[in-house]
Amino acid sequence: MSKFNFESLTVYQRAFTLSKNIYLLTQTWPREHLFGLTDQIRRASLSIVLNIAEGSSRTRKDYQHFLIIARGSCFECISLINLAFEIKLISLKQKEEMYNEIYQISKMLSGLRASLAKRK
Domain edges within the chain: 7-118
pTM over 0.85: yes
Spatial contact of 19 and 70, defined as CB atoms under 8 Å apart: no
Has residue 120 got a pLDDT over 80? no
CA quadruple 58, 62, 63, 69: dihedral positive or negative?
negative
Spatial contact of 95 and 81, defined as CB atoms under 8 Å apart: yes
Rounded CA-CA distance 15/85 in Å is: 21
Has residue 1 got a pLDDT over 80? no
Does CATH number 1.20.1440.60 belong to domain 7-118? yes
Rounded CA-CA distance 18/48 in Å is: 9
Which position has the higher pLDDT, 119 or 22? 22
Rounded CA-CA distance 1/63 in Å is: 23
Q: Is 3 helix (H, G, I), strand (E, B) or coil?
A: coil
> Which pLDDT band holds residue 44 (cuts at 50, 70, 90)?
very high
